Amino acid sequence: MLMIAYLLGSIPSAVWIGKKYYGIDIREHGSKNAGTTNMLRVLGRRAALPVFALDFLKGFVAVSLLGLMRYDADISSAWLINLKILAVFAAVAGHIFPIFANFKGGKGVATLVGAVTGIYPMIILLCFAVWALVFMISHYVSLASMTAGCCFPMFVIIYSSSEWSRNNDISFTFIIFAFAVAALLLWSHRKNIERLKSGTESKIYIWQRRDTTPPNAGQTPTTDEKK
């Protein structure tokens, strides 16, 4: 199951969509990450939305498949959560180091969101609300992602002590996992943090109309351009 989770995470949707429909390798443009944010920055909403949907879905499916093991009498609910956590790591690792794209992928945020949604969707909704609020105010996807990620363990702790979790107890392992995710997001965005400090991080305006065709993408240089 964990190998399947890794293989699902390895599906390089941004790379395949970029090459098939736009004639470019997204890893050679923008931030050079094979993910939703870079697709949005380089190619626009039409390219970014299916990438996000596919990356989210592969994480969600990777974890949901582990749900089949609840029918195994030898696996307790606590162990099932632990296995799902391992599936999250496997799917995200697949996205970051995809076997189908020479082990060069993205940061795995959308895949992580989809995978955790397969465990506790309510917590992800809260994180998404934080992400949307920070993004609408700052227009920095990186800042929104890091803020939502840092809020993730806080929401897990709050949720674990609320009435909502009575029939779906959160294990101590998942709380540790939540803190690990927050730390991992900060680490994976370390270059973005430097750019935010220096004021060079790119802002994204989703509803702004612009030309999203990369220079010379899929085009044959003219005689004048060759000169």
Same domain, 75 and 171: no
pLDDT at 225: 45
pLDDT band at 221 (very low <50, low <70, confident <90, very high): very low
* pLDDT mean over 111-127: 91
pLDDT band at 130 (very low <50, low <70, confident <90, very high): very high
226 assigned to some structural domain: no
173 assigned to some structural domain: yes
Same domain, 25 and 41: yes
* pLDDT mean over 202-217: 63
Q: pLDDT over 90 for what percent of the chain?
A: 53
Same domain, 96 and 195: no
**How many angstroms separate the CA atoms of 125 and 131, rounded?**
10
* pLDDT mean over 26-31: 90
Torsion of CA 45, 87, 125, 166, to 10 degrees: 170
The residue with greater pLDDT, 104 or 67, is: 104
Same domain, 77 and 129: no
Looking at the structure of the chain, the number of domains it has is: 2
192 assigned to some structural domain: yes
213 assigned to some structural domain: no
Tell me the pLDDT tens digit for each residue of 165-199: 555 566 788 889 999 989 988 988 888 899 999 99
Tell me if residue 23 falls in helix, strand or coil. coil
The residue with greater pLDDT, 150 or 207, is: 150
Tell me the pLDDT tens digit for each residue of 40-61: 889 988 999 999 999 999 999 9
User: Which of 169, 156, 86 is closest to 122 using CA atoms?
Assistant: 156
Tell me the pLDDT tens digit for each residue of 56-103: 999 999 999 887 776 666 676 767 888 889 999 999 999 999 999 999
Same domain, 83 and 166: no
214 assigned to some structural domain: no
User: Which tokens sit at 75?
Assistant: 């696996």
Same domain, 109 and 188: no
User: Which tokens sit at 39?
Assistant: 């697709």
**How many angstroms separate the CA atoms of 11 and 99, rounded?**
8
Same domain, 71 and 110: yes
User: Which of 111, 178, 193, 107 is closest to 148 using CA atoms?
Assistant: 178
Same domain, 133 and 149: yes
Residue 62: which domain range? Answer: 1-119
